[in-house]
């Protein structure tokens, strides 16, 4: 049982690392599409929503 937990923990760590690599690759591709310009959030959208 303990060995299964270790294997699953390792698999989760491997998958998390893979997701991080994919996110970095995606960020790179998005930057290329937008010619290196960073997309920013409009100042009005950053303000807390009023109730």
Whole-number Å distance between alpha carbons of 49 and 5: 43
Give a three-class secondary structure readout of the chain. CHHHHHHHHHHHHHHHHHHHHHHHHHHHHHHHHCCCCCCCCCHHHHCCCCC
Domain parsing of the chain, residue ranges: 2-34
Give burial (CB, 10 Å; 0-12/13-18/19+) of 18.
exposed
More confident call, 6 vs 30? 6
Q: What is the pTM of this model?
A: 0.60
pLDDT-derived band of residue 38, with 50, 70 and 90 as boundaries? low
Question: How does residue 4 score in pLDDT terms, banded at 50, 70 and 90?
Answer: very high
């Amino acid at each position: 049982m303990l060995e299964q937990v270790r294997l699953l923990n390792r698999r989760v760590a491997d998958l998390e690392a893979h997701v991080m690599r994919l996110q970095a690759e995606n960020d790179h591709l998005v930057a290329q599409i937008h010619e290196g310009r960073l997309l920013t959030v409009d100042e009005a959208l950053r303000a807390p929503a009023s109730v």
